[in-house]
Amino acid sequence: NMINVIGLGYIGLPTALMFASHDIEVTGTDYNKKLVDELNAGHLTFKENNLDKLFDEAVAKGIKFTTEYITTDTYIIAVPTPYDKNSKMVDASYVVAAIKNVMEVCPKDAIVVIESTISPGTIDKYVRPIVEANGFVIGEDIHLVHAPERIIPGNMVYELEHNSRTIGADNPKIAKRIKDLYTSFCKNEIITTTIRTAEMTKVVENTFRDINIAYANELAKICRRDSMDVYEIIRIANKHPRVNILSPGPGVGGHCISVDPWFLVGDYPDLANLIWQARKINDSMPEFVLDRIHDIMKKHTINSVSRVGLYGLTYKENVDDVRESPTLQMLECMQRHLASEIKVYDPWVHKDLVAGQYHDFDTFLSEIDIIVIMVGHSELRENMEKIKNKIILDTRNVCEFESTYRL
Ligand code: SAJ
- Enter the pTM of the model: 0.94
For residue 215, report the distance from its CA to the centre of ligand 1, in Å. 15
For residue 109, report the distance from its CA to the centre of ligand 1, in Å. 37
Mean confidence (pLDDT) of the chain: 95
Give the per-residue pLDDT at 88: 73
Residue 151 alpha carbon, nearest atom of ligand 1: 35
Ligand 1 atom 40: the closest Cα is on which residue? Answer: 256
For residue 155, report the distance from its CA to the centre of ligand 1, in Å. 11
Give Rg (Cα) of the chain: 23
Mean pLDDT for 141-151 is 96
pLDDT interval class at 176 (50, 70, 90): very high
pLDDT interval class at 182 (50, 70, 90): very high
Determine phi and psi for 317, rounding to 5 degrees. -75, 145
pLDDT interval class at 360 (50, 70, 90): very high
For residue 375, report the distance from its CA to the centre of ligand 1, in Å. 13
Check if the beta carbon of residue 319 is closer than 8 Å to that of residue 306.
Answer: no
Residue 64 to residue 270: CA distance in whole angstroms: 48
Residue 234 to residue 220: CA distance in whole angstroms: 10
Helices vs strands, H then E, count in the chain: 16, 14
pLDDT interval class at 84 (50, 70, 90): confident
Ligand 1 atom 35: the closest Cα is on which residue? Answer: 150
Residue 251 alpha carbon, nearest atom of ligand 1: 7
Residue 285 alpha carbon, nearest atom of ligand 1: 7
For residue 102, report the distance from its CA to the centre of ligand 1, in Å. 31
Residue 276, SS3?
helix
Nearest to 144 by CA among 221, 191, 89, 199: 199
Ligand 1 atom 31: the closest Cα is on which residue? Answer: 206
Q: What is the ipTM of this complex?
A: 0.99
User: What spatial distance separates the first Cα and last Cα of the chain, rounded to whole Å?
Assistant: 53
Check if the beta carbon of residue 177 is closer than 8 Å to that of residue 278.
Answer: no
- For residue 188, the number of C-alpha atoms closer than 13 Å in the C-beta half-sphere is 13
Give the per-residue pLDDT at 395: 98
Ligand 1 atom 28: the closest Cα is on which residue? Answer: 206
pLDDT interval class at 82 (50, 70, 90): confident
Residue 196 to residue 145: CA distance in whole angstroms: 10
| Tens-digit pLDDT profile for residues 45-66 | 888 999 999 999 999 999 999 9
Give the per-residue pLDDT at 369: 97
pLDDT interval class at 401 (50, 70, 90): very high
pLDDT interval class at 90 (50, 70, 90): confident
Q: Catalytic residue positions?
A: 202, 256
Q: At what angle do helices 260-267 and 195-225 cross, to 10 degrees?
A: 100
Pocket test for ligand 1, best of 83, 188, 289, 316 (most atoms within 8 A of CB): 316
Determine phi and psi for 285, rounding to 5 degrees. -65, -40
- Which residues, 6+ apart, have CB-to-CB distance to 332 below 8 Å? 286, 339
Torsion of CA 382, 361, 249, 336, to 10 degrees: 180
Q: Is residue 359 over pLDDT 90?
A: yes
Q: Is residue 86 over pLDDT 90?
A: no
Check if the beta carbon of residue 171 is closer than 8 Å to that of residue 139.
Answer: yes
Residue 113, SS3?
strand
| Tens-digit pLDDT profile for residues 277-296 | 999 999 999 999 999 999 99
Pocket of ligand 1 (CB under 6 A): 117, 149-153, 205-206, 209, 213, 246-247, 249, 252-254, 256-257, 315-316
Q: Strand pairing of 165-169 and 142-146?
A: antiparallel
Q: What percent of the chain has pLDDT over 70?
A: 100
Q: Is residue 138 over pLDDT 80?
A: yes
Check if the beta carbon of residue 345 is closer than 8 Å to that of residue 369.
Answer: no
Ligand 1 atom 32: the closest Cα is on which residue? Answer: 152
Q: Is residue 85 over pLDDT 80?
A: no
For residue 210, report the distance from its CA to the centre of ligand 1, in Å. 8
Residue 315 alpha carbon, nearest atom of ligand 1: 15
Give the per-residue pLDDT at 174: 97
| Tens-digit pLDDT profile for residues 228-238 | 999 999 999 99
Strand partners, 143: 111
Domains of the chain: 2-195 (3.40.50.720), 233-406 (3.40.50.720)
pLDDT interval class at 89 (50, 70, 90): confident
Q: Is residue 1 over pLDDT 80?
A: no
Residue 374 to residue 360: CA distance in whole angstroms: 17
Residue 255 alpha carbon, nearest atom of ligand 1: 23
Please state the length of the chain.
Answer: 407
For residue 195, report the distance from its CA to the centre of ligand 1, in Å. 24
Residue 1, SS3?
coil
Check if the beta carbon of residue 210 is closer than 8 Å to that of residue 279.
Answer: yes
Residue 142 to residue 131: CA distance in whole angstroms: 8
Least confident of 36-40, 179-183, 337-341: 337-341
CA distances from 336 to 191, 290, 351, 367, 396 (A): 49, 14, 20, 20, 26
- Which residues, 6+ apart, have CB-to-CB distance to 166 below 8 Å? 147, 148, 150, 190, 191, 192, 193, 197, 198, 201, 202
Ligand 1 atom 13: the closest Cα is on which residue? Answer: 252
Q: Is residue 303 over pLDDT 90?
A: yes
3-state secondary structure 177-237: HHHHHHCCCCCCCEEEECHHHHHHHHHHHHHHHHHHHHHHHHHHHHHHHCCCCHHHHHHHH
